[in-house]
Every structure is written in C-alpha cells, then in structure tokens.
Amino acid sequence: MATNKEKQNLSDLEAKNEQLRELQIQTEDLRMNMTKLENLTEHLTAENMFLENKTKEMKVIMTIQQMQIEQLRNNSDELNRIQAAIISYTNFPGDLFCPVEVCQMCPNDWIEFNKSCYYFYNFNSSLKTWDESRQFCQNNKSDLVVISSQEEQTFIKNRTDYCNDTQYGYWIGLRKISNNWTWVDDTQETLGNWNNEGSPENFTLIIQNATESHSWYKERNSALNRFICEIKALIF
C-alpha cells in the first residue's frame, strides 16, 4: 500500500511538473508576444510621428501655396488695372512710367497731385523760351502745365522757387491766341490770376515773388525761364 501511494504521489508530481513546463512555455510565448507587441507599438508610434510631421509639412506647403495663389491673383488684378490704365492713354509713354519694367504712378522726378504728374524744371544753367519749354515737355510725352482749378494753382505756386527777380519764373501752358487766353489743351482761361494784366505780351509765367492770386506774369516768348510739364498720372 505504501508503495502504491508513493507511485501515486510520483505520478502526481510528474503531472504537476508537466503542467509547470507547459506554463513556462506559455509564459515564454507570452513574453515573446509582449516583446513583439512592444516593438509593434514603437513602430506604430514612429509611423504616427512620421505621419504627423508629414501632415504639418503638408499644411505648411498648402499655406504657402495658398499665399502664392493669392499673390498671383493680386498680381493678375494689378496687371488688369495697369492694362486698363494704359489703354486710357492714346500713346502710352512706357519708357516714362515703367523705366525698369515696374510701372509707377508718376515718372521718376515727377510729383503727383490730384491724378496728374508734374515736372518742375529748376535748372538756371539752361533756361528756355516758351516754345523750347513746350518742346521739352512734348519730347517727354507731356505738355506745359494747364492750371484748371484754384486748388491746382495753390499746389503749383507752393512748389515753385524764387527765380532771379520778379520778372523770372516758370512757363505754364497759357498763351494768347486770336486775342483769347488759351491753354495748350485748347480750353479757355477762367481763373485770372494776373500780375501785370495790362502787358501786351502773349505768353505766361507763374512767379514766386507774388501773391497766389496775382502770380501769372505776361511775357514774350523769347524770354528765358524755367517751366513746368504735366502729364496724366497712371492710376491703377
């Protein structure tokens, strides 16, 4: 009986040992699976970070592209405006307004005022007659200034400099034709800012050393003076 009991205990121990071995195998399999899972998790985390970075990059690229598209749209709108402004000129002086392939409201060294550009010729070393002054302006696709409002008169008077004495100033585009004072654009003079109204001369200066309402000085064509050119501004 004792022997049978010992045999039974031995058999039970062997069964338990077998269970332990199976448990160890299962534990090892579980450990291996856990390791694989950890590796997979790390891999997925890395892929997720990669995708997040790519997503950020794509957002940056999309933002840049949207900005470029908006810039192109703005450039297109500006080009359309420039084209419309250019079409409004009979003969557009591109060399004046777009000297370096970038168009501007007024040519270099010209002053913008109320949708016009003005060039004040201030060189005492090369004064000109009225005809020579007008020819200079026309060579630069403009003409002698036409003063059509008191506001424009104020602007021009404030921009002129004193020139030698009261009989010197800046030629403007006003002269007498058939006993009528007529501007170079063929409109009639209406402001009457005369200084020497009784003079028989037929061409007009604007002089600095006089009040604004009495700053137009009648002079002969051959007198040498500075002058003012005017051209329509490129509004776009």
Higher pLDDT, 85 or 35: 35
pLDDT band at 20 (very low <50, low <70, confident <90, very high): confident
CA distances from 19 to 11, 31, 125 (A): 12, 18, 119
Question: Which range has the worst mean pLDDT, 55-64, 123-132, 212-221?
Answer: 55-64
In this model, does residue 180 exceed pLDDT 60?
yes
Inter-residue contact 225 to 219 (CB < 8 Å): yes
Task: Give residue 63's pLDDT.
Answer: 85
Report the chain's mean pLDDT, rounded to a whole number: 87
Inter-residue contact 110 to 230 (CB < 8 Å): no
pLDDT band at 182 (very low <50, low <70, confident <90, very high): very high
pLDDT tens-place string over residues 90-100: 667 777 888 77
d(CA 130, CA 173): 9
Q: Which two tokens stand for residue 199?
A: 């003079």
d(CA 203, CA 4): 149
Task: Give residue 43's pLDDT.
Answer: 85
pLDDT tens-place string over residues 56-86: 888 888 888 888 888 877 766 666 566 555 5
| CATH architecture of structural domain 108-232 | Roll (3.10)
In this model, does residue 27 exceed pLDDT 80?
yes
pLDDT band at 128 (very low <50, low <70, confident <90, very high): very high
Parallel, antiparallel or unpaired: strands 226-232 and 143-144? antiparallel
Higher pLDDT, 22 or 181: 181
In this model, does residue 87 exceed pLDDT 90?
no
Task: Single out the residue of 156, 159, 225, 164 nearest to residue 191, CA to CA.
Answer: 156
